[in-house]
Amino acid sequence: MSHTAFQLPGPRVEQEADYVVIGSGAGGATAAVTLARGGMRVAIIEAGPWRDPNDYPQSVYGAMRDMLDAWGSNLTRGRAFWPIVQGSLVGGSTVINSAIAVRTPGDIFEQWERDHGVGGPAMADAIWRIQDQLEHELNVEEVPEVALGRSNRLARKGADAVGYDNHYMLRYVKSCRGAGQCLQGCRSDRKQSLNRNFIPEVLTRGGSVVSCAPVARILVEGRRAVGVTGRFRHPQTKKRGAEFVVRAKKGVLVAASVTRSPLLLARSGVKNRAIGKGFRAHPGAPVFGSYDEPVDMNTGATQGWASIAHREKPGFKLESLSLPLDMIAGRVAGSGELLMERLVEFRHLAMWVQACRAETVGEVRSALNGQPAVHYTLSRDDMVRFREGIYTVAATHAAAGARAILPTIYGMPYKLLPNEIHKLKEAPLDPRAYISILSHLFGGCVMGKDPERSVCDGRGRVHGYEGLHIADASAIPTNLGVNPQHTIMALARYWAEGILGAG
Amino acid sequence: MIWLIKFAMCTMMPRTPALPGIADTDLDGFLRKLKKESDRIYWFGLVLGALVFAITPLITVGVPLPAFWLPRGLLDRHAERLVAHPIYMLRQAAALVRLSAGMCWGADSAVRARFNLPPYGPDPGTFRTS
């Protein structure tokens, strides 16, 4: 079997496999390789192109063009328009994220069991066992000393001084060099994004990859999923190419992303009232610290430091995140000569973020143009958490020795002195005052026991259908409060093992 | 419409004694590329943002003239006030222009050199074809 990329309009491209996996991100690629290792012939169908490290862009412009779904222009629809960032290429968001590996907290399985009738101790044991495997297979290691960079070190120093638990991150990165380009894809080929390992392994095990191939619909006969169909789309010109049909002898796994999996099910005529419901996220917002000495935040790991000390109460996590100059220039407040004056101190800035463990539930619907429309407005309680997270980041900067803190909140001063950060406790609770990004997404095809309130069961099987499975974060029914990639991958393998076990 | 976007971007990121402005970069080339390659919704938002920038001096600085007829000092004040305007839609419209301007400016080799950053190589835009 092989890789098939964009095909010009012409004869229909037809393939057949035991299982068809829609999407090649953390969930899809992990499910696919698990099935392939179990002796199944797997076809992965990916909407985006397959790019290798030599193909990766260097600039933010290139990353938006080549790697992000819809140029990152998917915005939440609600009180504020916050961008939803997702990768659209073979490997999905694993190519553009920081490859952070955090084990699923035990309380999550209790919550799933209590509120959704899935999960519990048996699932917890299985997921942690799989996470052991994944850590070994994908070389999870702590950010090495050589790749830390000053921003991550300062964050550690600040958090220690404030006095909360914090750590350098564990990531799926082998011998990181600290090139500071995780978000544009790791051209050093150190990050273990799944286009570099699991997906090639699927090919070597006799599977196939069809890229540049957005699935239009799942073929359902009666109550059984039997394949997928769509038309190739050129990654640059967006022109439509040949039609493709990939038939599945045994089943179809949907891992097209939190925003796209629900739409695909709905478009394919799958009947379930819970489709699109239960959308959740970790809305994040940055706080800059300005330091006397240059920080040069683009030197060192893009993300190397984190804390989940506030995960349970009040409900946020903290991380370092170094954005490139061509992104920062659009994020620093101001315009005209004032903006240019502020940009002069770029080398002295460190950026750390809070990501809120929001309880707000939104919904994924189809917009008029068929694209996902995410309806989501953070509740007041979540905004209080959000604001507290921002205050904690500011306090960490102050403790790390920042001469000023730049909160980037509308209605607040551009700069606060370290002894003025208490003002952030009165910062606005209107989401429109913040520049936030939604990067960790959950729900839309949530798992649960009750078919009236969930799309699939705890094994990822879509209620009422045969051979139709969910294998991505859209099945996750709650917020995790930690980086989700490790959980998504472990769940996908758990579900794929279930499929193999059911034979 | 490109001239309108260019005007807004050059106002938002002017040359100063300390730093090159966006006019010192290959802005024309950037905008041509952006128009050709970007998502339609993104480009539409950018044009809309530039239009908002041009027609709102009455709201920001109380002068009933389009932005391109404002004297330099007033124009700078307009740019500053628009991105911090109380009306969310206005500041969002301007934010997209500023974000795009930042992508052009921050990727320029001369600008990057000022910040001790290595120049970017090309964005190949290539992918596996088989």
Q: How far is A228 from chain B (nearest CA, A)?
A: 21
Distance CA A237, CA A230 (A): 17
Helix (H) or strand (E) holding A57: none
Is the minimum CB–CB distance between A61 and chain B shorter than 8 Å? yes
Is the minimum CB–CB distance between B56 and chain A shorter than 8 Å? no
The two domains A3-51+89-95+193-276+445-480+492-502 and A142-183+279-438 share their CATH topology (first three levels equal): no
Mean pLDDT for the stretch of residues A266-293: 97
Q: Of the CATH numbers 3.50.50.60, 2.60.40.1080, 3.40.50.1360, 3.40.640.10, which one belongs to the domain with range A3-51+89-95+193-276+445-480+492-502?
A: 3.50.50.60
Residue with tokens 């060099």: A177
Mutation target for A interface from B127, B129, B130: give the one with most A CBs within 10 A: B127
CA Rg value for chain B: 16
pLDDT tens digits for range A332-391: 999 999 999 999 999 999 999 999 999 999 999 999 989 999 999 999 999 999 999 999
pLDDT band at A243 (very low <50, low <70, confident <90, very high): very high
Mean pLDDT for the stretch of residues B5-19: 97
**Which amino acid, A84?**
I
Query: CA-nearest residue of chain A to B80?
Result: A335
Mean pLDDT for the stretch of residues A250-255: 98
pLDDT tens digits for range A64-110: 999 999 888 889 999 999 999 999 999 999 999 999 999 999 999 99
Comparing CA positions, the residue from A416, A448, A417, A412 lying closest to residue A430 is A412
When CB atoms are compared, the residue of A90, A329, A333 closest to B102 is: A329
* Number of Cα atoms under 13 Å in the Cβ half of residue B10: 18
The pair of structure tokens assigned to A17 is 């496999």
pTM: 0.96
Is the minimum CB–CB distance between B115 and chain A shorter than 8 Å? yes
Residue A295: pLDDT over 80: yes
Q: What percent of chain B has pLDDT over 90?
A: 95
Residue A397: pLDDT over 70: yes
So what's the pLDDT on residue A1? 59
Q: Alpha helices of A99-242 — where are they, by DSSP H?
A: 106-116, 120-137, 149-162, 198-204
Distance CA A269, CA A265 (A): 7
Distance CA A275, CA A280 (A): 14
Mark which residues 299-358 of A lie under 8 Å from B by CB.
Answer: 324-331, 333-341, 343-344, 346-347
So what's the pLDDT on residue A72? 85
Domain borders along chain A are 3-51+89-95+193-276+445-480+492-502, 142-183+279-438
Chain B positions in Cβ-Cβ contact with residue A57 (cut-off 8 Å): 123-125
So what's the pLDDT on residue A503? 60
So what's the pLDDT on residue A39? 98
Residue A250 three-state SS: strand
For Cα atoms A298, A159, A148, give the angle at the middle one, nearest 5 degrees.
Answer: 30
Mean pLDDT for the stretch of residues A478-498: 98
Q: Is the CB of residue A377 less than 8 Å from the CB of residue A80?
A: yes
Q: Of the CATH numbers 3.30.70.240, 3.20.20.70, 3.30.560.10, 3.90.1300.10, which one belongs to the domain with range A142-183+279-438?
A: 3.30.560.10
Contact B125 A66 (CB under 8 A): yes
Is the minimum CB–CB distance between A293 and chain B shorter than 8 Å? no
Mutation target for B interface from A195, A337, A344: give the one with most B CBs within 10 A: A337
Query: CA-nearest residue of chain A to B20?
Result: A340
Mean pLDDT for the stretch of residues B25-35: 97
So what's the pLDDT on residue A70? 87
Distance CA A150, CA A132 (A): 31
Residue A502: pLDDT over 90: no
CA distances in angstroms from A9 to A46, A81, A309, listed in the order given: 18, 37, 54
Q: Is the CB of residue A28 less than 8 Å from the CB of residue A253?
A: yes
What is the complex's ipTM, to 2 decimals?
Answer: 0.96
Q: How far is B42 from chain A (nearest CA, A)?
A: 6
Mutation target for B interface from A335, A371, A377, A436: give the one with most B CBs within 10 A: A335
CA distances in angstroms from A394 to A155, A417, B107, listed in the order given: 11, 10, 29
Chain A positions in Cβ-Cβ contact with residue B50 (cut-off 8 Å): none
